[in-house]
């Protein structure tokens, strides 16, 4: 049995020795070599769309694809037959890095580091941002202490992020498809969003990309947020209506936005988001470091060869 692992991943193949499988590397930017199209297992990470479409059309013996992305939209869009190919995700591999990035975005928004940096590059002293400042003035987002943080899409990343936020004194609530208490956090159903958004200082979105989440944050919901509230998106770019978001920013209807993902990536140079004063942009950089990938691959390979249920099945 052949297992293909990507050159985009720094993986020591010796870690997979001892299994009844031959391990082969492949270039994620090129078609699968002819002598490897009979592989049964494919590990994917940062593959080009053309590479995945090629694999879907030519690798007819594939039985299992291990994506290292938390949300394998690229694999799902490539055309693999879900009836014959089991797809497993990299859920859990990006929890720490995305949580850390999210915390950085929230602190930057609250402490106005982005405005200080703007002044620095212009050779100006931002005196209005220093000196005596009101502490937690009503209608402002200037600190995480006692800030009301609403996390929409309360999964593993949110569970990792919450202790960081609470350590700085934030009040954390969650929103998901099903209400309940998760890791000590009250999680509400989406039908309660209208009331929750009204009492939010920062909305953190960690939603997966799907038809059901497309433009989940639309013009109507943006109007519900307080004028000082920030929107942080580290989930999928399609979950926000970017045109509606830009209009809300133009009108001063929200405090700002910190975005790591976009409807189309790279974000087009003509996007008005680049020119917005209270917008922080990062180039899909929150994840990108699948920690523990070797362990997940080895465990799922063991299960696959033993005919057992795989972890993180989509």
State yes or no: pLDDT of 88 exceeds 80.
Answer: yes
The Cα 260–Cα 98 span in angstroms is 10
Active site annotation includes 284 = yes
As a three-state string, the secondary structure of 78-96 is CCCCCCCCEEECCCCCCHH
133-175 confidence digits (pLDDT tens): 999 899 999 999 999 999 999 999 999 999 999 999 999 999 9
- Among the listed residues 250, 217, 254, the one whose alpha carbon sits nearest the alpha carbon of residue 236: 217
Beta-carbon neighbour count of residue 217 at 10 Å? 25
132 to 18, 127, 128, 129, 140: CA distances (angstroms): 64, 10, 9, 9, 16
pLDDT for 29 beyond 90: yes
Catalytic one of 101, 221, 228, 236: 236
Mean per-residue pLDDT of the chain: 96
For residue 164, count other CB atoms closer than 10 A to its CB. 17
Best CA proximity match to 110, nearest among 135, 79, 132: 135
Distance between CA atoms of residues 41 and 308, nearest Å: 15
Is 236 catalytic? The answer is: yes
Which pLDDT score, from 0 to 100, does residue 47 have? 97
| CA distance linking residue 150 with residue 195, whole number of Å | 12
Confidence at residue 80, expressed as pLDDT on a 0 to 100 scale: 96
For the chain, the residue count is 314
> Whole-angstrom Cα distance, residue 30 to residue 42?
14
Residue 203 above 80 pLDDT? yes
Catalytic residue among 111, 182, 284, 291: 284
């Amino acid at each position: 049995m052949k297992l293909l692992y990507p050159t985009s991943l720094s993986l020591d193949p010796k870690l997979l020795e001892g299994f009844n499988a031959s391990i082969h590397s492949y270039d994620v930017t090129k078609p699968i070599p002819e002598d490897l199209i009979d592989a049964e297992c494919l590990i994917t990470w940062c593959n080009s769309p053309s590479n995945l479409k090629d694999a879907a059309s030519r690798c007819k013996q594939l039985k299992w694809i291990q994506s290292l992305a938390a949300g394998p939209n690229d694999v799902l869009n490539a055309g693999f037959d879900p009836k014959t190919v089991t797809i497993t995700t990299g859920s859990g591999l990006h929890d720490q890095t995305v949580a850390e990035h999210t915390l950085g975005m929230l602190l930057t928004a609250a402490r106005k580091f982005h405005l200080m940096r703007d002044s620095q590059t212009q050779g100006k002293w931002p005196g209005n941002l220093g000196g005596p400042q009101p502490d937690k003035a009503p209608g402002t987002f200037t600190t995480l202490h006692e800030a009301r943080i609403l996390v929409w899409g309360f999964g593993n990343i949110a569970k990792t992020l919450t202790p960081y936020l609470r350590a700085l004194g934030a009040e954390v609530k969650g929103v998901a498809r099903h209400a309940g208490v998760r890791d000590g956090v009250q999680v509400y159903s989406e039908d309660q969003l209208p009331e929750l958004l009204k009492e939010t200082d920062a909305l953190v979105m960690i939603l997966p990309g799907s038809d059901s989440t497309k433009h989940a944050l639309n013009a109507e919901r943006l109007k519900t947020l307080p004028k000082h509230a920030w929107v942080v998106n580290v989930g999928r770019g399609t979950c926000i209506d970017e045109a509606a978001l830009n209009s809300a920013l133009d009108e001063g209807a929200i405090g700002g936005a910190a975005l790591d993902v976009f409807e189309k990536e790279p974000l087009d140079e003509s996007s008005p988001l680049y020119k917005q004063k209270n917008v922080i942009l990062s180039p899909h950089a929150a994840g990108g470091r699948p920690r523990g990938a070797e362990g997940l691959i080895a465990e799922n390979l063991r299960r696959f060869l033993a005919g057992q249920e795989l972890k993180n099945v989509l």
